[in-house]
Structure 1
């Protein structure tokens, strides 16, 4: 299977999300073709991105002339214009772009984007709001949902598991979570094993179903 990780990427729509994405990809050495219909936005990005053009992404011929069908991956980062977002995504499907990512402003919008052919739907505002809510309501330092009902959480070990080797703790049987790695004070993260003993001041990363990691992170 071919690795397309560093292939050039088309980013369509240069609002806050699209601009940040395009600049970060460029910073990481990925060639980016950035497209927006607003000349002022394009002009403001011209000094920061190598390839940035003004074009109507709902025009099939314009996308062809820009060479969009030659790209393996494209991101539709159009924000509030839902019609343009959906039409642009459907045109990328028509142009047989292999890997289409599309930003949605709601779950309903996301479902439509999937129906017209988006391979990945991004809900940045929803996802960030959900993440911050988890961080505000508990003892978590970080939270990342990796699937619909599965998450990784960075937190402190509960008192009852201090000083006990993980292999003897029955932690997974009791709470359904796995300690993936641990970071002692003034140390770097290391993988956790059966012989790992947690200490006060440690930071751990746990994995499990969302309700289980939430319950575990609330333990004193």
Structure 2
């Protein structure tokens, strides 16, 4: 993976342009919207995209007067066509960073090539452990004493990209999957907000899978 270009705030002081992709209620999106109200945060949410209509995430963007768009997989003849269309819609807003905030579709090769090194996502486990859709349940079943959440730069794998940040959540003896996942979500949200701000304000580089803040 090549080093991403510096985001504008790290060079000129202008806020970084961020596009957020969502699939559901948009609680992580709301946290980013709230943080971005402060000019010192260093990032501005310039658009919110979704893979389906009628979700609360889009309504949150509307209430914040942020432009929205939808690219639904069912409206395209192939996943490749959807991936290209999604990339085109995102690219129209000239983002410096793309944040997948509960986006439940895997972006494909065209999207990743277009925004190489500038797409970040979270996973509710401590990568590389427990990738996939059931991270909290897999961690609980394995009997780990701590789990958490990971913010990473998206690559072609599943939860395999270079790690930006991680946060640790203890596993309690009486946890079930729901209780554990809810505590992970709280920690994940704070980690996301803190580090998207840092990526915007400081810029970052990737060398040998290591993500370093600053240019």
What is the TM-score normalised by the length of structure 2?
A: 0.44
Which protein has the larger Cα radius of gyration, Structure 1 or Structure 2?
A: 1
Identify the structure with bigger relative contact order (alpha carbons < 8 Å, sequence gap 6+).
2
